[in-house]
Amino acid sequence: HFPFVHDATVAPPVVYFDYIIIGGGTAGCPLAATLSQNATVLVLERGGSPYGDSNITNVGNFGSTISDTSPHSASQIFISEDGVYNTRARVLGGGSAINAGFYSRAEPEFARDAGWDEDLVRRSYDWVESKVAFEPPVRQWQSAVRDGLVEIGVLPYNGFTYDHVQGTKIGGTIFDDQGRRHTAADLLGYANHRTIKVYLHATVSRILFTRRRWANPRAYGVVFEDALGIKKRAFLRPHPQNEVILTAGALGSPQLMMLSGIGPALHLKSHGIHLVLDQPNVGQGMADNPMNLLYVPSPVPVEISLIQVVGIPPGQNTYIETASGLSFAYSWAQGFALFHPLCFFSFQSGKPSSLTAETMAKAIDTVHAYANTSLKGGVILEKVKGPLSSGDLKLRSRSPRDNPSVTFNYFKDPQDLRGCVEGMRSIVNMINSPSFARLRYANLPVQALVDLMLNLPVNLRPRHVSSSISLEQFCIDTVMTIWHYHGGCQVGKVVDRDYRVVGVDGLRVIDGSTFLKSPGTNPQATVMMLGR
């Protein structure tokens, strides 16, 4: 829909720009639109366009996008070394094109800790929200969860707000009142059409550096491939302020740093990569907020809704959220059923998983039973704040198209596990509240919902007998991702407070890989704001 967006196959062999942005994602799009006001900007996006794809644009097709494993889908599946299914975006707009759409600002202390100008932060949020954020229509499922949270003491009730506030609130959404998704790519509407170029299906393989004696290496360009595999080059125009900027996300940015020679020296050497800078912190601090949930079938039809209501319980280390509707619930279940062939063998070691063929067949039968009897319902989930647990990212190969190996070490820190247990108790209390009673089967106890989750192949982790009676073990055994992973190029370790890569010139990283923790209940608003 933008005249400056083209497939990379039409790009010349060599191009020159003031700024080269690697990754047209949640941060890259607003960053490019902003820089284009006063400079020439090239955006290189490895995926395609989100426009015209109903799986991306339609709220009811969320599950179909997440579970699409085709080689050119907007969602690239990976499995962490923890045995948890996950995905990374491969599309213009990044994660905002495949996520559940919840829009909420970071807590005020997040901006203060980052050293950001608070007035500039507010104005940047406003700039983003004028194009992509909306107040959602709150219908019966979401309102029942809202009332249940208030009833169990998640107070005060704050109504609709984009702000991060303790208690229960209705947050924003990037879906409009017609159920159409508005991604970070929409922010390119702010761009100066004469000074920006966006190439799709442009996979950057490495950043180029000059080597000068007694001076830091300096980024001066990139090598990228189009969809036909033809290598092309983009160079910075000669000016001391011109830069290459990595906005490839929490997996892509540390991965591309390593592929370009910046990372732990021994690890790069093992892959035959020429060392530009020995930086052991690249790939470190990888964290993913653990998510655990219960699926609750309903005796009455409920609306299709993604995340709208959020509970921030006082004194707890967790957030409570919900989504509903047969299309969502069934797609969600199909998404896990889709992976069942992988459950026979561990992705990392090739050893048999504890999820046997019999267990998986039972889980899939359960999913189909719910669908065939036309049960309606939704999921109620908790997300651990922070988190404190973290791991690392390593290369598997020298191909930028391959997923790196990533470990998140879910619940390694006991405080994260306590947060999950607190959150699950809040969910149980909410389900048992009078406000929620009409949307659940009276003869279906919470224990049955727990047992259902234990029989679904939601991950590749082993199941323990105690999981059905111990919330601690339930959290460990059924942990999933809420796709809020971050780290790998963290501020103070890999980049400075202005997001310049320490030890080299002409290179910055501006995305969730720089975060020390996940902002607020959902990071996308803050990542878009950061790009601006």
The answer to whether 164 and 106 are in contact (CB under 8 A) is yes
What is the CA angle 234-237-240, rounded to 5? Answer: 125
Cα separation, 466 vs 66, whole angstroms: 31
Q: What is the DSSP letter of 4?
A: T
Q: Is 527 annotated as a binding residue?
A: no
Q: Residue 244 pairs with which residues in a beta bridge?
A: 20, 507
Pairing of strands 5-7, 196-200: parallel
Peptide bond preceding 156 in cis form (omega within 30 of 0): yes
98 alpha carbon, distance to own chain's centre: 9
297: left (phi over 0), alpha (psi -120 to 50) or beta: beta
**Phi and psi at residue 113, to the nearest 5°:** -65, -30
CA dihedral for 448, 450, 456, 461, sign (positive or negative): negative
Cα separation, 485 vs 387, whole angstroms: 10
Runs of H (alpha helix) within 156-274:
249-259, 265-270
Element housing 128 (H / E): helix 118-132
Q: What is the DSSP letter of 93?
A: T
Q: Tell me whether residue 182 is one of the annotated catalytic residues.
A: no
Q: Residue 305 pairs with which residues in a beta bridge?
A: 324
Helices vs. strands in the chain: H and E counts, helices first: 14, 26
At 491 the three-state DSSP class reads strand
Cα separation, 329 vs 367, whole angstroms: 9
Catalytic: which of 164, 182, 201, 484?
484
Cα separation, 381 vs 383, whole angstroms: 7
Query: In sequence order, what are the residues at sequence separation of 6 or more whose Cβ sits closer than 8 angstroms to the Cβ of residue 271?
Result: 395, 397, 398
Q: Is 512 annotated as a binding residue?
A: yes
Query: In sequence order, what are the residues at sequence separation of 6 or more whose Cβ sits closer than 8 angstroms to the Cβ of residue 342?
Result: 79, 460
Structure tokens belonging to residue 521: 């209940």
Cα separation, 182 vs 179, whole angstroms: 10
Q: Is 116 annotated as a binding residue?
A: no
DSSP string, 31-67: HHHHHTTTS-EEEE-SSB--TT-HHHHBGGGHHHHHT
CA dihedral 157, 148, 108, 161 (to 10 degrees): -60
Q: Is 182 annotated as a binding residue?
A: no
DSSP string, 212-234: -TTS--EEEEEEEE-TT--EEEE
Q: Is 204 annotated as a binding residue?
A: yes
Residues assigned a catalytic role:
484
Binding residues for FAD: 91, 204, 483-484, 512, 523-524
Q: Provide the annotated binding site.
A: 91, 204, 483-484, 512, 523-524
